[in-house]
Amino acid sequence: MPYRVKCLLVDDLEENLLALSAVLRRDDVEVYCASSGAHALELLLQHEFALALVDVQMPDMDGFELAELMRGSERTRDVPIIFVTAGVGDPRRMFKGYDAGAVDFLYKPLDAYVLRTKADVFFHMHQQKQQLAEQLDMLAETLRLNEMFTAVLGHDLRNPLSAMLTAADLLLRRTEDDAVRKTAGRMLTAGKRMGRMIEDVLDLARARLAGGIPLRRGETDFGLLVQRMVQEHQTAWPQHTIEVQQDGDLVGDWDADRLAQVASNLIGNALQHGDTVEPVRIRVDGTQGDALRFTVTNVGVIPPHLLPYLFDPFHGGQQDRGRGEGLGLGLYIVQQIIQAHQGGVEVLSGAGPYTEFRVELPRRGVDVVKL
C-alpha cells in the first residue's frame, strides 16, 4: 500500500476548501483545511505536509505573509507551496510569490485536471522521500547489528585462539620430531595471522560503534618504533631492501601501540605491493616543531580506479591481495588511528613509478571522539 501523504489547503472561503478537497482527496492523501493563516500555522506545527495550496488574498494574514513565516521555520521551510489567486496575472505579484517560496502559481477558476496533476507530482515525491527514509533507517539498524555481531564474534574468537596458540607453542618447544615441529610452526604462523585479522575486525567495530579508536597517549619515540617495525618486516621479507632516513626530534605525545600498527601496516603494504628490485624507502621527519612527518615509498602504482576507495574498509586493499594476507582493513585502520591523533594521511600514486603514503602527526593534542 502506498505511503499516505498530507496536503494542506488554506483559504478563507469554506466553499473553496470544499471544492479543493473534493479534487485532491483520495485513499493515500489526507487533506487538512485551514480557514486562516493562523490556523494553517497551527496545523503545520502538528503535521508533516507534502504540499500546501495557499490562497493569496485572505484577511489578517495573506498568503505571502504565511509563506514567509513558513520559510522562517526549520520545520516548515521545505514544504512546497502553490499559490492560488482569483486576481489577473500580474508579473509583480508572481515575482513576490516566488520570492516568498512558491513552487507554482494557479489562477481561479482552477482546472481540476491541472490541479490534480501538479499536486500528484509533489505527493509522489513525498512518498518516495518517506520510503527512502524508512529504507535508510532499516539499513542503519542492520549495519549497527552487523557491527555489534562482528565485535562480539571477534572478542569471543580470541579465547579459543589463544588456547590453540599456547598448545602449538608448547608442542614446538617440547618435541624433537621434525614433522611435528613443522606442523606446530605452521599452526603458530596461521594462528598469529588469524589473531591479526581478529584485531582488525575489533578495531573496525571500535571505530564504527564506539565513535573512534581509543588512544592511550604517552611520550613516544616514533623513530625507535619505526626501527622495531622495520626489523620485524625485514625478517619476514628478506628479499626486499628497506632504507630508513630519520631527522630531527621524533618524540611526541602519542599512543605507541597504535602508531606501531600504522607503521607496520604501511611498511607491510609497501613490501607486499612494491617491486622487489627497488628498496622501500621510509623517512621520519621531525625537523618541524609542531608535527612529525612519516612517509613510506615503494616502486609500483596503484590503479587509478582504486585510489578513491583506498581507505574504505574491505575495499581499499583489493589490488593483487592474496587470499591469506588479510581482510582489507589495514589502510582503513591506519586512517582511523591517524585521525584519532588529529593527524592526516594521504597517498600519492600515478605521477611517476612510485606510490607514497604520507602521514602527518601533531606532537600534542586531545583525543578525537566522533559524535
140-173 pLDDT tens trace: 887 777 667 766 666 677 778 888 888 888 888 8
Does domain 218-362 correspond to CATH entry 3.40.190.10?
Answer: no
Whole-number average pLDDT of the chain: 84
With beta carbons less than 8 A apart as the criterion, state whether 41 and 69 touch.
yes
CA–chain centroid gap for 93, Å, is: 45
pLDDT: which is higher, 57 or 328: 57
Q: If pLDDT is split at 50, 70 and 90, which confidence band does 315 have?
A: low
Alpha-carbon distance 284 to 296, whole Å? 9
Q: Give 174-180's long-range contacts (Cβ < 8 A, gap of 24+).
A: none
Tell me, what's the pLDDT at 41? 92
Report whether pLDDT(235) > 70: yes
Q: Stretch 112-136: mean pLDDT, rounded?
A: 89
φ, ψ of residue 109 to 5 degrees: the values are -70, 140
With beta carbons less than 8 A apart as the criterion, state whether 322 and 342 touch.
no
Q: Which CATH architecture has domain 142-209?
A: Orthogonal Bundle (1.10)
Does domain 5-110 correspond to CATH entry 3.40.50.2300?
Answer: yes
236-265 pLDDT tens trace: 788 889 999 999 999 999 999 889 989 988
From residue 334, give the alpha-carbon distance in Å to each of 232, 330, 360. 18, 6, 12
From residue 46, give the alpha-carbon distance in Å to each of 18, 34, 41, 67, 316. 22, 13, 9, 17, 46
Q: If pLDDT is split at 50, 70 and 90, which confidence band does 320 have?
A: very low
Q: Stretch 301-319: mean pLDDT, rounded?
A: 76
Among 64-73, 140-149, 215-224, 317-326, which is the least confidently predicted range?
Answer: 317-326
Alpha-carbon distance 258 to 266, whole Å? 13
Q: If pLDDT is split at 50, 70 and 90, which confidence band does 50 have?
A: very high
Among 83-92, 130-139, 228-237, 286-295, which is the least confidently predicted range?
Answer: 83-92
193-221 pLDDT tens trace: 777 777 777 777 666 655 667 788 999 99
Report whether pLDDT(363) > 70: yes
Alpha-carbon distance 54 to 72, whole Å? 17
Q: What is the pTM of this model?
A: 0.52
Alpha-carbon distance 335 to 345, whole Å? 6
Alpha-carbon distance 263 to 345, whole Å? 12
Domain regions of the chain by residue span:
5-110, 142-209, 218-362
Report whether pLDDT(335) > 60: yes
